[in-house]
Chains A and B, each alone.
Chain A
Amino acid sequence: MRKLSRAFVSPNASAYPDGAPEPVKGRSLWADAWARFFRNKAATGGLIVLIALVLFAVFGDLFAQWSNEEIDWAMLGNVPEVGGPSLENGHWFGVDETGRDLYARTVQGTRISLAVGVVGALVAVIIGTLYGAVSGYVGGRTDQIMMRIVDVLIAVPYMFVLILLMVVFERSIIMLFVGVGLISWLDMARIVRGQTLTLRQREFVEAAVATGVSTPVIIARHIVPNLLGIVVVYATLLVPSMILFESFVSFLGLGVQEPSTSLGALINGGAQNLRNQTPWMLGVPLFFFCTLLFALFFVGDGLRDALDPKDR
Chain B
Amino acid sequence: MTSYILRRLAVAIPTILFLIVLSFVLMEFAPGSPFDSERGIPAAVLQNLEAKYGLDRPAWQRLGLYVWNIATGFDFGPSFTYRDRSVNDIIAQGFPITLTYGFWSGLAAIAVGVPLGIIAAVKQNTWIDYLAVGFSIGAQVLPNFVMAPILVLVFTLWLGWLPGGGWAGGQWNYLILPVIALSTSYMASIARLTRSSMLEVLNAPFIRTARAKGLPMRRVILRHALKPALLPVISYLGPTFAFLLTGSVVIDIFFSTGGIGQFFVAAALGRDYAVIMGVTILYGVLVVGLNLLVDLAYAWIDPKIRY
Give me the interface of A with B, judged by CB distance under 8 Å.
5-8, 139-140, 143-144, 147-148, 151-152, 154-157, 159-161, 163-164, 167, 186-187, 190-191, 193-195, 197-198, 200-201, 229-230, 233-234, 236-237, 240-241, 244, 267-268, 270-271, 274-275, 282, 286, 289-290, 293-294, 297, 301, 304-305, 308, 310-311
Known: A160-B27, A286-B146. 19 other contacts (CB 8 A): A151-B284, A155-B280, A157-B26, A157-B276, A157-B280, A190-B238, A197-B298, A198-B305, A201-B305, A233-B193, A234-B232, A237-B140, A267-B146, A270-B146, A275-B153, A282-B146, A290-B138, A294-B137, A297-B133
**Complex contact A310–B204 (CB within 8 A):** yes
**Complex contact B193–A237 (CB within 8 A):** yes
Within 8 A of A (CB), among B127-164: 133, 137-138, 140-143, 145-146, 149-150, 153
User: Which residues of B have CB within 8 Å of A151?
Assistant: 15, 19, 284, 287-288, 291
Q: How far is the CA of A198 from the CA of B201 in the complex (A)?
A: 13
B66 within 8 A of A: no
User: Which residues of B have CB within 8 Å of A304?
Assistant: 196, 199-200
B268 within 8 A of A: yes
Known: A198-B228, A198-B305. A152 touches B235 (CB 8 A): no
Within 8 A of A (CB), among B1-51: 8, 11, 15, 18-19, 22-23, 26-27, 29-31
Q: Of A147, A155, A198, A241, which one neighbours B283 at CB under 8 angstroms?
A: A155
24 A/B residue pairs, CB under 8 Å, sorted by A:
A5-B205, A147-B291, A148-B288, A152-B284, A154-B239, A156-B26, A156-B280, A157-B26, A157-B276, A164-B26, A186-B239, A187-B240, A194-B235, A197-B298, A230-B193, A230-B197, A237-B192, A267-B146, A270-B146, A271-B145, A274-B150, A282-B146, A289-B141, A304-B200
B218 within 8 A of A: no
B280: min CB distance to chain A, Å: 5
Known: A194-B231, A282-B146. A201 touches B304 (CB 8 A): yes
A49: min CB distance to chain B, Å: 13
User: Which residues of A have CB within 8 Å of B287?
Assistant: 151, 154-155
B307 within 8 A of A: yes
Q: How far is the CA of A275 from the CA of B154 in the complex (A)?
A: 12
User: Which residues of B have CB within 8 Å of A290?
Assistant: 137-138, 141
Known: A197-B305, A234-B193, A293-B137. A148 touches B15 (CB 8 A): yes
A279: min CB distance to chain B, Å: 12
B56 within 8 A of A: no
**Complex contact B149–A271 (CB within 8 A):** yes
**Complex contact B141–A293 (CB within 8 A):** yes
Q: Of A140, A152, A161, A310, which one neighbours B18 at CB under 8 angstroms?
A: A152
Give me the interface of B with A, judged by CB distance under 8 Å.
8, 11, 15, 18-19, 22-23, 26-27, 29-31, 133, 137-138, 140-143, 145-146, 149-150, 153, 185, 189, 192-193, 196-197, 199-200, 203-206, 209, 228, 231-232, 234-236, 238-240, 242, 268, 276, 280, 283-284, 287-288, 291, 294, 298, 301-302, 304-307
User: Which residues of B have CB within 8 Å of A160?
Assistant: 23, 26-27, 30, 268
User: Which residues of B have CB within 8 Å of A197?
Assistant: 298, 302, 305, 307
Q: How far is the CA of A282 from the CA of B197 in the complex (A)?
A: 34
User: Which residues of B have CB within 8 Å of A144?
Assistant: 8, 11, 307
**Complex contact B145–A164 (CB within 8 A):** no
Residue of B146, B234, B238, B291 with most partner-chain A CB within 10 A: B146
**Complex contact A163–B30 (CB within 8 A):** yes
User: Which residues of A have CB within 8 Å of B22?
Assistant: 152, 156
- Chain B residue at minimum C-beta to C-beta distance from A272: B149
User: Which residues of B have CB within 8 Å of A201?
Assistant: 302, 304-306
User: Which residues of B have CB within 8 Å of A271?
Assistant: 145-146, 149
Q: How far is the CA of A194 from the CA of B305 in the complex (A)?
A: 10
Q: Of A147, A163, A230, A268, which one neighbours B232 at CB under 8 angstroms?
A: A230
**Complex contact A286–B149 (CB within 8 A):** no
**Complex contact A191–B141 (CB within 8 A):** no
Known: A156-B22, A197-B298, A267-B143. A237 touches B189 (CB 8 A): yes
- Chain A residue at minimum C-beta to C-beta distance from B267: A157
- Chain B residue at minimum C-beta to C-beta distance from A296: B137
- Chain A residue at minimum C-beta to C-beta distance from B190: A237
- Chain A residue at minimum C-beta to C-beta distance from B32: A163
**Complex contact A164–B30 (CB within 8 A):** yes
**Complex contact A155–B232 (CB within 8 A):** no
User: Which residues of A have CB within 8 Å of B133?
Assistant: 297
A35: min CB distance to chain B, Å: 18
